[in-house]
Chain A
Amino acid sequence: MAFIEVDGIAKSFSAQGSPRHVLRNVSLSIERGEFVSIVGAMGSGKSTLLSLLAGLTDPDSGTMTVGGSVTRGVRSDAAVVFQNYSLLPWFTALENVRLAVDAACPGLSKEEQRQRATQTLERVGLGNALHKRPRQLSGGMRQRVAIARAFATKPDVLFLDEPFGALDALTRETLQQELARLCGDDDRAVTTVMITNNVEEAILLSDRIVPMIPGPPATLGAPIPVDLPRPRSIAQLAHDEQATLARGHVVAALTAALGRKRPTGALHADAAAPVLRPVAEEPR
C-alpha cells in the first residue's frame, strides 16, 4: 500500500439550490518521498482537489489514507503553499515563519524556534529580509517566505497549489529550481503534491504527472511517469527525448479529454495555452 492512498473522492457544491458536481471518483496513490503533479486547465477543479487533499474541506464521499490510517482535516505533518502567498501582512517575514514553527513545534524553546525560522528563511535566500513585511517584498520573495513557512515545520507531506502561478517567467524559473533543491536536500523525503497548469513546470519537478480530466465533474487520468535524472533544467528538458515523450503524453491526455468535451468557453482557451507550446515545432 502506498504512503498516500486517495480512494474515490467526490465533491459537489450547492449553487442556488442545484448541486454542482466538481469532482468525481478521484483516486490516486503516492509513494513516500514522491513528487506528484496534477496538471489541468484553469477552472477544472484543481484547487478544490488540493483543498480536499490538504484537509481544508471535507469530501462528500471517498477516503484518503496517509501511512495506512484514514485522515480527516488538516494533518499535523502537512504543509501547504498557496498561489497567492497567504502571508499575514501585519507580520514580518520572520514572524510569518515563526507563527508556523511555534504552532508546529511547541516543544522547542523560544530561541530554537527563532533559529529554525531564521535558518529556513536563509535557505531560501531571504537572510537579509527577515524583518521586512510582505508589502515591502516582491512577489517572488513573498512566495519564498511562503515556501520557507512550509518547510520550516519539516513536513512529511507538502501540498503546493499553483505555487508559481502568480510570478513572472524569470522569477518562476528560479523558484522552481529552488523548490527542487529544497525537496531534494532535506534530510528526509518530503512527499509532495503540486497542482499546476504548466506542463513544463510539472516535468521539471515531478516523478509522476497526473492529468486532470476536466468536467464538470472532473476526475484524474492515468499517471504519466517522468523518468529523468535530477537535477533537471528547463534548457536541458527542451531537447531531452524522455522529456519530449512525457510532454507528449500529458498533452495527449489533456487534449483527448478536451476533445470529448464541447470546445466552448474559457476552459478550452486556457487549456490550449500550455498545450500548444511545446513539441516538435522546431525546424530541423
Chain B
Amino acid sequence: MTKRMINLVLPLCGLALAVLAWWLASRVVADLPSPVRTWEESKLYILEPLSKRGETDQGILLLAYYSLMRVARGFLLGIALATPIGFLLGVSPTLTRMFDPIMQVLRPISPLAWLPLGLVIFQKSEPAALFAIAVCSMWPTVINTMMGVRAIPQDYWNVAKVLRLSKFTTFTKIIVPATLPYMFTGYRLSLGIAWLVIVASEMLTGTPGVGGFLWQEYNSLVYAHILLAILTIGFVGFVLDRLMSIAETKLRTI
C-alpha cells in the first residue's frame, strides 16, 4: 500500500470507529439520535443548504453564513483593536508593565460573561454579540504581535539606526514585516476563538445562525439537529483554520 493510500485510509478508519462509538452511545442513551436518524432528520438542511423556510428554519449553509458574517465583523473589530495595541505593547516596556496585569485578568473571562455586559451597554443583541466576539478574540493577536515585535533581532534595529531610518520607515519597512508571521499566528488563534464565541452569543441572544439554530432545536426537542449543528460548527471551524494557515504560509516574510 502506498503512503498516500495509508494517509487516506487511516483517517477513514478513525471516522468509522467514531461513528460506531456514536451509534453505540445512541443505543444506551435513550434521547441521543443514532447516526442514521440524525442523517434522516437533517438531510433536508444539508441537501437544500440555501433554502429559507422560516426565521430559524433555514438551510445549513445559510445558517452558517449568518454566523460567519457575524464572526467576520466581530473578528475584524477585534484584530483592528488588537494589532495596534500589540505593536504599542511590543515597542514600549513601560506600557507593557502598565497594562499587563489588566490583560492577564481580562483574558480568561468567558464570552458568556461578556455578553450580558454587552447587552447592558448596547441594549441590542447584535452589537452585544460583536462586542463579546471582539473582546474575547483579541488577546492572542495582542500577545502574538507584542511577542513578534520583541523578537525582532538586534541586527534589524541596528540597520534602522545605521541607515537613520525615520520612525515611520522603521515601522513600515522593518517592524511590520518582521512581525507579520507572529501577527498571522495571532489572527489564526483569534479567529478560532471568535468562532467559539459565536455559538455562545447566538444561543444567548437567539439570533439566527448555527448557534441560534442549535438552541432553538434543543428547545423544540429535535435532538438530531443539535448534532447537525455541532458537526457544522466543527467543520466550519476546521475550514477557517485551514484557510488562515494557508494565508499564514503565503504571507511568510522570513
Contact = CB atoms under 8 A, between A and B. Distances in A.
A binds B: yes
Interface of A: 51, 54-56, 74, 76, 78-80, 82, 84, 86, 88-91, 99-100, 103-104
A82 B174 contact: no
Nearest to B157: A56
* B155, B159, B169 — most chain A CB neighbours (10 Å): B159
Contact of B159 (A54, A76, A88): A88
Contacts of B166: 103
Given A86-B156, A90-B253, A103-B169, A56 B162 contact: yes
- Residue picked from A54, A80, A103, most chain B C-beta under 10 Å: A103
B30 interface: no
Where chain B touches its partner, the secondary structure class is: helix
B7 interface: no
Contacts of B164: 74, 76, 103-104
B158 A56 contact: yes
**Shortest Cβ-Cβ A-B pairs, 9 listed:** A90-B253, A90-B177, A86-B155, A80-B162, A89-B254, A103-B163, A100-B163, A86-B159, A103-B165
B43 interface: no
A91 B172 CA distance: 12
A76 B164 CA distance: 7
B151 to A, nearest CB: 14
Contacts of B169: 99, 103
A89 B156 CA distance: 10
A90 B254 CA distance: 6
A55 B155 CA distance: 15
Interface in B138-176: 155-156, 158-159, 161-166, 169, 173-174
Size bracket of the B interface: 10 to 19
A250 B205 CA distance: 81
Interface string B49-87: 000000000000000000000000000000000000000
A56 B157 CA distance: 10
Contact of A54 (B155, B162, B165, B173): B162
Given A89-B253, A99-B173, A104 B158 contact: no
B163 A99 contact: yes
A46 to B, nearest CB: 16
Contact of A82 (B158, B165, B173): B158
Nearest to B162: A80
A82 B155 contact: yes
B165 A99 contact: yes
A84 B155 CA distance: 8
Contacts of A100: 163
Nearest to A95: B173
A51 B155 CA distance: 12
A91 B162 CA distance: 17
A54 B177 CA distance: 26
11 contacts: A56-B158, A74-B162, A80-B158, A80-B162, A84-B155, A86-B155, A89-B254, A99-B165, A99-B173, A100-B163, A103-B169
Contacts of A90: 177-178, 253-254
A142 to B, nearest CB: 12
B162 A88 contact: no
A99 B170 CA distance: 10
A106 to B, nearest CB: 10
A51 B254 CA distance: 26
Interface string B32-52: 000000000000000000000
Nearest to A75: B164
Nearest to A102: B169
A251 B189 CA distance: 58
A78 B161 CA distance: 11
A51 B154 CA distance: 12
